[in-house]
Amino acid sequence: MPILALAWKSLLNRRFTALLTIVSIALSVALLVGVERLRTEARSSFASTISGTDLVVGARSGPVQLLLYTVFRIGDATNNFAWESYQDVAGHPSVAWSVPLSLGDSHRGFRVLGTTPEYFVRYKYARGRELAFRAGSVFDDLYDAVVGAEVAAILGYVPGDRIVLAHGASDVSFARHADKPFRVVGILERTGTPVDRTVHVSLAAIEAIHAGWQSGAPLPGMQVSAEQARNMDLTPKAITGALLGLKSKVATFRVQRYVNDYPSEPLTAILPGVALSQLWDLIGIAENALLIVSAFVVVVGLFGMLTALLTSLNERRREMAILRSVGARPGHVFALIMGEAGVLTLLGIVTGLALLYVMLLLGQPIVETRFGLYVNVGGPSTVELGLLGAIAGAGILIGTVPSYRAYRMSLSDGLSLRL
C-alpha cells in the first residue's frame, strides 16, 4: 500500500502526462468493449429479425437463399409454388396460423410484398415485438398500400398519397402498372428490419396489377382496367413463400419433413433460427475483423503508456537516486513503476467503462429508433469481463519493461548521481 500511495503521488506530480495516458487507454477500452457489446446485441437483433415464426416455406432452394428473399427481401426466388400447395400446407393439423407472401414487384427501388392483413398481426421482431402503425391502418380496399417507415421517410409519403408499382426490381416506364395506382393508407413504425423498406399490398392486388400480363409484359389487346380487375377472380395462382406458426414446438420437425417431402411439387421448409445462424456464419468475418481492429487500438493505447513511462525515466533519475538515498531498494523502485503502470491501466479501464455506459445511455434511444437495434445497458458480460481482464494483464505485463529498466538504472546509479 505505501508503494501504491507513492505511485499515486508520483502520477499526480505528472498529472498532465498521466491524464493523457488514462484517456488513451479509456478510449481504447470503450471502443473494444463497445464493439463487443454491439456485436453481441447486433447478433441477437439479427436473429430477432423474425420472431415467433416456426417455419418459412418456399419453393425448393437453399435455406439461406430462402431466408434472404422471404425475410430480408434480398435476391429473387428460384421459383414460386402453387396456391393449392400452400393451402395444403396451411391446412396441416399441426399448423396454427399461416401468412402467404408474394414478391417480385417494386416501387422506386423498394420491394413490394403481397400478403394478407394477418401479416401485421403475426409478424414479430426483436424478441416478440409486434408491428405498429405510426399513421393510418392496414389495407382494406383492393388498391390500398401500407408502407414501411424508411419508405415513408425517404419518399415523403403520408396517408392519402398515390403511388404506382412496377413489375420486377427495375422501376422503368414500360414495367410500371400505371393504370392501377395505389393509395397509401398506413405507415408503420420503424422496426430496423426489412419491413421498413417494404411496400405492403394485398395478395388480390398483386393479381389485379398482373391481369392481362404474361412473362413480365402486358399482352397486346388484353389491357384490363382497374375497375375491370375488381370484378375478376383474384385468387392467387402462385405465391413466393409463407410463414407458419405451429400449435406445438414438438411438431416442428414433423411439419418440416411433411413440407420437404410434399409430393405435388418440390418445397422447402426452414427453421428461421437455424438459417439465421448459417447466414451469420457467412457474414461473421466482418465482425471478427472489427473486433481485431479494436484490439489493436487497445494495444496502441497500452504502448502509449509504455512510451510515456520510458520517456519519463531519464527525467526521473534524480527521483530514483533520492529514493535510494532514503533507503529504497532496487526492488522498491521496480514496484513503484509497476504500481504506476497498474494505476494507469486500472484508471483507464474504469474511465473507459464509465465512458461506454454514458454513451450507451445517451445513444440507446437513438440507435433503437433509427436502426431498430436494442443495446442492453446491463453489467459487463462474461466475455467483456474477460476482455477487461486481458487488458489489465497486458497493462501489467507492459509495465514490467519500464520497471525493469528503472530497476537496472537504480542499481547502476546508486548515489553517484549528483543531487
- pLDDT tens digits for range 139-185: 999 999 999 998 999 999 999 999 999 887 666 555 678 889 999 99
Of the residues 225, 240, 270, which one is the last residue of a structural domain? 270
Task: Looking at the structure, tell me whether residues 71 and 197 fall in a common domain.
Answer: yes
pLDDT bin (cut points 50, 70, 90) of residue 195 is: very high
- Give the pLDDT score at 152: 94
Task: Looking at the structure, tell me whether residues 32 and 61 fall in a common domain.
Answer: no
DSSP label of 305 = H
Task: Looking at the structure, tell me whether residues 19 and 63 fall in a common domain.
Answer: no
Task: Looking at the structure, tell me whether residues 347 and 388 fall in a common domain.
Answer: yes
Domain span holding position 318: 2-46+284-413
What are the residue ranges of helices labelled H in 316-377?
317-325, 330-371
Of the residues 243, 270, 297, which one is the last residue of a structural domain? 270
Asked if residue 279 is part of any domain, the answer here is no
pLDDT bin (cut points 50, 70, 90) of residue 417 is: very low
Task: Looking at the structure, tell me whether residues 36 and 115 fall in a common domain.
Answer: no
Give me the phi and psi of 271, to 5 degrees please.
-85, 120
CA–CA separation, 115 vs 201, rounded Å?
6
pLDDT at 223 over 80: no
Asked if residue 210 is part of any domain, the answer here is yes
Task: Looking at the structure, tell me whether residues 101 and 242 fall in a common domain.
Answer: yes
> Average model confidence (pLDDT) for the chain?
83
pLDDT at 419 over 50: no
- Give the pLDDT score at 175: 67
Helix axes 15-47, 330-371, angle to 10 degrees: 40
Higher per-residue confidence, 94 vs 52 = 94
pLDDT at 53 over 50: yes
Contacts (Cβ under 8 Å, ≥6 apart) of 272: 50, 53, 55, 56, 67, 71
Task: Looking at the structure, tell me whether residues 127 and 105 fall in a common domain.
Answer: yes
Number of separate helices (H) and strands (E) present in the chain: 13, 17
CA–CA separation, 191 vs 124, rounded Å?
10
Task: Looking at the structure, tell me whether residues 184 and 332 fall in a common domain.
Answer: no
pLDDT of 183-192, one tens digit each? 999 999 988 7
pLDDT of 353-378, one tens digit each? 999 999 988 887 777 666 656 677 77
pLDDT at 327 over 70: no
Asked if residue 275 is part of any domain, the answer here is no
- Give the pLDDT score at 415: 43
pLDDT at 328 over 90: no
pLDDT bin (cut points 50, 70, 90) of residue 337 is: confident
Of the residues 270, 293, 315, which one is the last residue of a structural domain? 270
Domain tally, the chain: 2
- Give the pLDDT score at 301: 79
- Among 194-198, 231-235, 242-246, 310-314, which is the least confidently predicted range? 310-314
- Give the pLDDT score at 59: 93
The model's pTM is 0.69
pLDDT at 215 over 70: no
Task: Looking at the structure, tell me whether residues 317 and 387 fall in a common domain.
Answer: yes
pLDDT at 78 over 80: no
Give the residue-averaged pLDDT of 321-326.
64
For the chain, the distance separating the N- and C-terminal CA atoms, rounded to the nearest angstrom, is 27
- Give the pLDDT score at 297: 81
Cα three-residue angle 17-23-28, rounded to 5 degrees: 130
Share of the chain above pLDDT 90, in %: 34
